[in-house]
Amino acid sequence: MKRVALVVVRWVMDVQGRRRLILALVIPGLWIVAWATGMTESFTPDNIRRVAGRGLWGIVIFLLIFAVGQLLRVPSTVYVAAAVAAYGRNSGIVVALLGGLLSATVSFAIVRALAGLALADIQRPLIQRLLRNIDRHPILTVALLRLIFQTAPPLNYALPMTAVRWRDHLVGSLLGLPVPVVALAFFFDWIMHAKVSCT
């Protein structure tokens, strides 16, 4: 028992350990507060569209809501749908792409500041094997992950804890996000037009 306590104390006293502890407390704490207060329920496409439709300030507010909502684990599809509904398909694509990039960048900055390179420091062979690709080809790996998972909050939390540099993360996100955002925008536009023609 003393040995376990000693390991815990050493871990907390270590800089990376403190960062991991802070991240382990802050992120779930935010999720719990957002869930308990019902905040996540207000992140609906209709509510976001109401705010977004206020000109240039609406776009700025929309981008901020996108970034905060992603930190609270609201999926990016909600924001793409709201952008298409508020701004139309083509302008909605541009606004959703800007929101996705801002969201990924804000998440990267916050998680990197709190957790540092927590995953890069893990010495387990399995983790090191998994992270080898991101070390060798960071831009390509980030682009492929963004192509598949877009701005999924778990990905937004994991990437900053690797050794990927901010610039590589941004370039990879710029390359990987357009295809899924455009595909979702066309899908939501099609649904909205199909819904209108059915009524």
- In sequence order, what are the residues at sequence separation of 6 or more whose Cβ sits closer than 8 angstroms to the Cβ of residue 185? 80, 83, 84, 89, 92, 93, 96
- Is the alpha carbon torsion for 176, 178, 179, 185 positive or negative? positive
* pLDDT above 90: percentage of residues in the chain: 38
pLDDT in tens, 91-150: 999 999 999 999 999 999 999 988 888 887 777 887 777 788 888 999 999 999 999 999
How high is the mean pLDDT of the chain? 82
pTM to 2 decimals?
Answer: 0.74
pLDDT score, position 56: 85
Question: What phi, psi does 50 have (nearest 5°)?
Answer: -60, -45
pLDDT score, position 165: 95
pLDDT score, position 149: 92
Higher pLDDT, 25 or 193: 193
Measuring CA to CA, which residue among 103, 197, 90 is closest to residue 156? Answer: 103
Q: Report residue 172's pLDDT band, with 50, 70 and 90 as the boundaries.
A: very high
* pLDDT above 70: percentage of residues in the chain: 72
